[in-house]
Amino acid sequence: MGKDVIVACDFASGAETLAFLDRFGDERPFVKIGMELYYAEGPDIVRILKERGHRIFLDLKLHDIPNTVQKAMRVLSRLDVDMTNVHAAGTRAMMEAALDGLTRPDGTRPLLIAVTQLTSTGEEAMRGELLIDRPLPEVVAAYAKNARDAGLDGVVCSPLEAGTIHEVCGAEFFTVTPGVRFADAAKDDQTRIATPERAKSLGSDFIVVGRPITQAADPAAAYRRCVTEFVD
Ligand code: C5P
């Protein structure tokens, strides 16, 4: 699978998103639609961006009982997104149900990936609140393995975890990694970060980049810089 840069469209409205994407001219980057934009605009924003020719990662992180997730995924499968996701904490049974729901009658389906542990969850919260006593990297690797065993295509993780996940789950199981920053830029609230170039050398398959592109004076130029460093 080819490496690619996914632009996180973390905007509160469709109008803002379209104005932002207009700045890319004829270029049609792979985009991520998260909860904020999806809950504001509903499925129409997916249809509009699809019509414009974008590939879409619908980042809704489903986590519920298997039957509910299966039915929700069946609805999402009709939206023709390219990638979507669930929480691995929902168990293998839930991930299998998600995969089943996402598979269209003709056998095609979007890529399905899992969130292992959110990068906002530290080891302290994991131990004290979730009562998980193992070291974080071990938990991330085990959840990734559950996702692979359930038939999923990959996981969302830090670029710094991409190598371990490929070792545990195989080179074909792909890693989608946020937490990307240019060497000369602000970290914002991200902690475990890597430059696009380093993410590439660590084995990330897709990088998800938000503020370094959305807040740039020239978003298209920032996007191309990511592509040059990560893909070319
Ligand atoms: O602006 P920034 O580049 O930090 O945006 C990263 C994107 O990736 C955001 O949409 C954020 O919600 C998402 N994300 C993340 N860490 C995760 C999962 C998703 O930063 N573990």
Q: 146-204 pLDDT, tens per residue?
A: 999 999 999 999 999 999 999 999 999 999 999 999 999 888 877 778 999 999 999 99
**118 pLDDT higher than 90:** no
pLDDT of residue 1: 65
- 57 Cα–ligand 1 center, Å: 13
Query: For ligand 1, is residue 10 a contact (CB within 6 Å)?
Result: yes
Mean pLDDT of the chain: 96
More confident residue, 190 or 20: 20
pLDDT of residue 171: 95
pLDDT of residue 190: 75
Angle between helices 43-51 and 14-22 (to 10 degrees): 20
Query: For ligand 1, is residue 156 a contact (CB within 6 Å)?
Result: yes
d(CA 198, CA 202): 6
Query: For ligand 1, is residue 211 a contact (CB within 6 Å)?
Result: yes
Query: The pTM is what?
Result: 0.96
- Type of residue at 193: I
Residue appearing with tokens 């071990």 = 138
Q: 213-229 pLDDT, tens per residue?
A: 999 999 999 999 999 99
Q: What does the block give as tokens for 185?
A: 């830029």
More confident residue, 118 or 206: 206
d(CA 212, CA 180): 8
pLDDT of residue 193: 87
**37 pLDDT higher than 80:** yes
